[in-house]
Structure 1
Amino acid sequence: MAAHPAPTCMRPLKLISFLRASGPGVLLCLLVSGLAICLEAAETYLLGKAWLESLNLALLLGVLIRVIKTPGPIWTGGIRLCARPLLNVAIVCLGASFSLHAVFCAGPTLLLGVMGIVLFSVVFTLLIGRAMGLPTHQLLLVACGNAICGNSAIMAAAPVIGAKEEDIGTTIAFTAAGGLVVVLGLPLLAPALLGSPNAQGVLAGLTVYAVPQVVAAAAPFGQTALHVGTLVKLMRVLMLGPVCLALAVFCAKPTQTRQATTHGASIPRLVPWYIAGFAAMMTARSCNLVPDAALTPLSTTATCLTTMAMAALGLSVELRSVLHAGRPLALSVFFSLLGLVGASLILVRLLFGA
């Protein structure tokens, strides 16, 4: 017997039920995000630039709130909504920020070099983390975060491999600390090892996580270094789609893989919808199908939703689990960053002879 659709009058009731279940947690994440943005603005005003971005501040504030008082059941629905579904929407919006045209204009040599560094960093981190005894989920998250773009890569890869909120938050906390060290140390290290602004900008783009951090690290080297560093960072971010797709294929369960190969309709399930959306949005931007007027709202939406997701992750992280995971994870992040910086220096010297 055919199932009858739900009566129209039931839809408002479902909406009200959804708002009651998710509203408090979403509002909490929104308040934490707003406070993080205000703290970043205060940093910029008092110190001249923000050493900790609102993304990382939201995570830290969320962890602090959970230490003071663990959120009860009334908050959990909204926190979960911000931690996963809203983050996936942010990743799709992020695709509009990237144009393949700018990447191809830089030439194939630099693009192949960036791809090689990302591949090396992923493989090197996997070897180091395995030697340190790091659990598989955290190992894959560290590899993606250090190789590509820190927080965003970790949060994009997490649903693909089925990582828990605790693993995500713990990994982000350690990689964020390592990334901050790179941002602070690069302006001191690069002038002693590299002579040209182009070389210094490429090194910043290859080793620093987020675009604002690249700006902070490359700005002391001049405007040329700033532009080159941002472009190289863009090339690294473009690797997010292929890496997540590879993780989806290799981390798929055997039964799921068999179904995908025997039933054509099941193949798209191997590709997370938000990665497909990211690629579609990026392609649309490259084909000039996204109007310029929409770029700023899409970028702002992506930033706000990602900040809310970071707050949600912080509210989900048990501090004791972070401390328990400390030594293997810290060593893995440290040696992974060391390998990334070393390989990037070699590449820059090969490209620029400086």
Structure 2
Amino acid sequence: MTSEPGLFRSNVIVPLLPGLGLSGFIALLAGALGFAQSHVFGTTGLDALILAMLLGMVARAICELPRAMQPGIRFASKTVLEAAIVLLGASIGAAEIVTLGGWTIVAILALVVASLGLSYALSRCLGLDRQLSALIACGNAICGSSAILACAPVVGAAERQMASAIAFTSALGALLVLLLPMAAIQLDLDDRRYGIIAGMSVYAVPQVLAATAPISVLSAQLGTLVKLTRVLMLAPVLLIIAVLSGGGGRVRPPIRQVVPWFVAGFLLLITLRLLGLFPVFLLEPSWQLSRLLTLIAMAALGLSVDIGELLAGSGRVLAAGLGSLILLVTLAFALSAFLT
């Protein structure tokens, strides 16, 4: 007779295997192509992380993925990438935190406030209702779908509004992860400035790692620190929105939406590193494992992007999301120029 624990593990793990396997295969192919670029053709070209996402997008565009692959793809694009974020925390020491600087914090606060206002105003000008405009503004200014989920009960948004905002935010965020490193190379941005720009503009914390890891370790460290500062603004922003919308702050999102598990894990490893409690011999393996997990997750992110579905959606929501993202990136570039 099969034991309940064994049955439970089977029910959880087995459905993930097809999608994880496909993501892993694409990651392996991207890694091989990246190796061939640098060691066979003698050129840097596109980093393996970017190649993994591109290959995933191509696979999604030319093939109809079986439904059985979806759980594993979702797991790889979310949980695997979140685990990579936790491991990244071990690579951040006092020097990286000092490098961030106090003026960067001020710039991040200004970015969030300006982005919230401009994104909301743009959405309203395009004819979107108050709830959907607030969701798009929060997702754009702070942390993508997590902020949308946390903001929804505060503004009384309907499920269809949540789904619409999350769909466009997720797709646009994934495309930004792909395009931003390419822009960094073309514009010849230094590692510090690029990390700040990515942290200020990319939607989700895990996506910041995906966007910065192809450039350098410093970019990934600074980008994640900047992004976490944006995330910490979620709670006060929700409180202000609740007051302005007449909620009086009575509606409180679950704590896991304000402080996700991987953010807590990331901060824990930073603390252990600062206290000298993290083994030095594990620093390099932690970074390499973080990059490997990110490579798999990038393939899954590519498999998650349905360009056709995005273009077939609501034109006004797409315009609001795209316009808000352009404003956010423009602000990030402008503010980063004063910090580097």
Shared topology, TM-score over 0.5?
yes
Check conservation: 1:121, 1:339, Cα contact below 8 A: yes
Quote the residue 1:227 is aligned against.
none
Aligned-partner Cα distance in 1 for 2:24–2:149 = 22
Q: CA deviation at 1:276?
A: 0.9
Quote the residue 1:246 is aligned against.
233
Check conservation: 2:196, 2:222, Cα contact below 8 A: no
The AA in structure 2 aligned to 1:296 is: E
Aligned-partner Cα distance in 1 for 2:252–2:322 = 37
1:170 corresponds, among 155, 169, 172, to: 172
Quote the residue 1:63 is aligned against.
57
Partner SS for 2:65: coil
The AA in structure 2 aligned to 1:244 is: V
Q: CA deviation at 1:284?
A: 0.5
Quote the residue 2:77 is aligned against.
83
Quote the residue 2:333 is aligned against.
341
Quote the residue 1:147 is aligned against.
none
Check conservation: 2:87, 2:266, Cα contact below 8 A: yes
Task: Give the alignment of 1:124-163 within 5 angstroms.
Answer: 124-133=114-123, 139-144=137-142
Partner SS for 2:81: helix
**CA 1:337–1:176: 2 relative to 1, 3 Å:** same
Aligned-partner Cα distance in 1 for 2:218–2:257 = 32
Matching of residue 48 in structure 1 with residue 43 in structure 2: yes
Task: Give the alignment of 1:1-354 within 5 angstroms.
Answer: 9-45=3-39, 46=41, 48-50=43-45, 52-99=46-93, 101-103=94-96, 106=99, 111-133=101-123, 139-144=137-142, 164=166, 167-174=169-176, 176-186=178-188, 203-207=193-197, 210-211=211-212, 215=216, 234-247=221-234, 250=237, 270-323=258-311, 324=313, 327-348=319-340
Q: CA deviation at 1:172?
A: 2.1
Aligned-partner Cα distance in 2 for 1:122–1:258 = 23
The AA in structure 1 aligned to 2:24 is: L
Check conservation: 1:91, 1:156, Cα contact below 8 A: no
Partner SS for 2:179: helix
Map Cα deviations across residues 201-252 of structure 1 (whole Å, 9 max, x no partner).
754554356545655xxxxxxxxxxxxxx76874442233343243256559
Partner SS for 1:48: coil
**CA 1:201–1:171: 2 relative to 1, 3 Å:** closer
TM-score with structure 1 length normalisation?
Answer: 0.68
Check conservation: 2:90, 2:269, Cα contact below 8 A: yes
Aligned-partner Cα distance in 1 for 2:61–2:255 = 43
Partner SS for 1:238: helix
Partner SS for 2:338: helix
The AA in structure 2 aligned to 1:49 is: T
Aligned-partner Cα distance in 2 for 1:21–1:287 = 40
Q: CA deviation at 1:141?
A: 4.7
The AA in structure 1 aligned to 2:111 is: S
**CA 1:77–1:88: 2 relative to 1, 3 Å:** same
Percent of residue pairs identical: 26
Check conservation: 2:15, 2:71, Cα contact below 8 A: yes
Backbone CA RMSD of aligned residues: 3.8
Aligned-partner Cα distance in 2 for 1:57–1:111 = 33
**CA 1:159–1:25: 2 relative to 1, 3 Å:** farther
Aligned-partner Cα distance in 1 for 2:184–2:55 = 23
Aligned-partner Cα distance in 1 for 2:198–2:188 = 9
Q: Which structure has the larger Rg over C-alpha atoms?
A: 1
**CA 1:184–1:121: 2 relative to 1, 3 Å:** farther
Aligned-partner Cα distance in 2 for 1:11–1:181 = 49
TM-score with structure 2 length normalisation?
Answer: 0.71
Aligned-partner Cα distance in 2 for 1:300–1:165 = 31
Q: CA deviation at 1:274?
A: 1.4
Aligned-partner Cα distance in 2 for 1:164–1:82 = 18
Aligned-partner Cα distance in 2 for 1:175–1:85 = 17
List gaps (5 residues or longer) in structure 1: 1-6, 145-152, 188-199, 216-229, 349-354
Aligned-partner Cα distance in 2 for 1:40–1:258 = 51
List gaps (5 residues or longer) in structure 2: 127-132, 152-161, 200-210
Tell me how many residue pairs correspond in the alignment.
298
Quote the residue 1:196 is aligned against.
none
Aligned-partner Cα distance in 1 for 2:121–2:35 = 41
**CA 1:143–1:286: 2 relative to 1, 3 Å:** same
